[in-house]
Every structure is written in C-alpha cells, then in structure tokens.
Amino acid sequence: MTKNPIDFAKDSAEMSKPNDDQIRKISELTQFQISQEDVILILESLLNAERKKLEQIKTVLLPEAMKEIGIERIDLDTGEKLTIRTVIGASIKIENRDGAHKWLRDNGFGSLIKNEVTAKFGMGKEKTATKLLAELLKKGFDADSKEFVHTQTLSAFVREQLEAGTKIPMELLGVFQYNESKIVRPKK
C-alpha cells in the first residue's frame, strides 16, 4: 500500500484562495462596518449638540426664568420639583499655580496641596525605585516632582471658606460660580 504524500504548500494555497461568495461577503461586511462607523459619528455629533442645548437650559434659561419671577423652587402641576442651586467650583490655572500654592501655604491650607513624585528607571532597577526622592536625585536618576490641588478638593474648600465668610483670592484660585436647575421627577 502506497501512501500519497501530503502537499501542505498546495493544500494551504488552495485553502487560502477565496471564492467569489467569500469575497462578496467580506465586501458586504466591510461596507456594513463603514456604514456603522458613519452612523456612530453622526449620533455622537448629535448627542454633543443635544448636550450643549441641555446645558444652556440648565445653566442659563431656567435659572434666568426663575430669577425673573424671584423664586428658587417650584412644584409643577405635572409632579416635577424644580430647584435652582448655585454651583461654586475652582480650578487653578497653570500660570497662577505658584501664587495659589503660596497663598494656601501662607494661610494654613498647605495640606490641600498634593505632591506627586515620578521617576524613570531602566530595566532591572526595581529595588532602587523604592528609595526616597532625595536618594534618586543624589544618584542622578531622572525624577520629577509635581505639586497640585485636586479640583474637587479645592472646590469643596472654596465653598467652605465662602460659607464661613473667609476672604479668599477668587481669581488666583480660579473660583467660578453659576446657577443650575435640578429637576426631581415623581416616581411612577
């Protein structure tokens, strides 16, 4: 009994040669993917536009309409409860960072400032990486230190200080304020 040798190269070439139906299917799926990507781009664009409209209603139109009639809360006949609240936040601009950090330290609020230290090490330097920043600098490693105040922490601090009547450098700390509507819907 003679065995027929297997020709893997020939079999592989025949298997990898697609037929017309396979090519047509791949072409259709390619077009379907392109179509879906286009639909998603359009929907994302529409969603962004609708978010901008909602933001305008929440932060400008409704607060102004409520202010015109002198109220901050209303219970509607449809069951919704509408309130207007003042949002106070803060975000220190890069150009104000040094001055803002100095003011915070000078006024006893230095604990708000976080210090992030990063260092770059080559392969196999895991043990060395655990040493202190001073040791890293002494040994000549490339290390960076970045100080920052987390935006949410700063915003909470600013609200507390304003409520307590403390005078703070509004511009230096990047304090901003706006009104925003909040709607509570009835449970169904």
pLDDT of residue 155: 96
Looking at the fold, whether 115 and 162 belong to one and the same domain comes out as yes
Tell whether 9 is covered by a domain: no
- Report the distance separating Cα 162 and Cα 176, nearest Å: 12
pLDDT of residue 97: 95
pLDDT of residue 118: 73
Tell whether 10 is covered by a domain: no
Tell whether 5 is covered by a domain: no
Tell whether 46 is covered by a domain: yes
pLDDT of residue 12: 60
Range of the domain at 27: 17-71
pLDDT of residue 52: 98
| Segments in the chain below pLDDT 50 | none
**H or E stretch at 102:** helix 97-106
Residue 154 CB burial class (10 angstroms; 0-12, 13-18, ≥19): buried
| Mean pLDDT for all residues in the chain | 88
Residues with Cβ within 8 Å of 178's Cβ and at least 6 positions away in sequence, in order, are 59, 86, 87
Q: Which of 114, 117, 122 is nearest to 137 (CA)?
A: 117
pLDDT of residue 6: 66
pLDDT of residue 13: 58
Query: Residues 102-143: pLDDT tens digits?
Result: 999 999 999 999 987 776 666 676 777 666 556 766 767 666
pLDDT of residue 16: 75
Looking at the fold, whether 112 and 53 belong to one and the same domain comes out as no
Asked whether the beta carbons of 146 and 118 are under 8 A apart, the reply is: yes
Tell whether 142 is covered by a domain: yes
- Report the distance separating Cα 20 and Cα 94, nearest Å: 60
Asked whether the beta carbons of 151 and 82 are under 8 A apart, the reply is: no
Token pair belonging to 2: 């003679």
- Report the distance separating Cα 1 and Cα 115, nearest Å: 81
pTM value is 0.61
- Report the distance separating Cα 90 and Cα 57, nearest Å: 22
- Report the distance separating Cα 92 and Cα 94, nearest Å: 6
Question: What's the number of domains the chain is made of?
Answer: 2
pLDDT of residue 117: 72
- Report the distance separating Cα 89 and Cα 159, nearest Å: 8
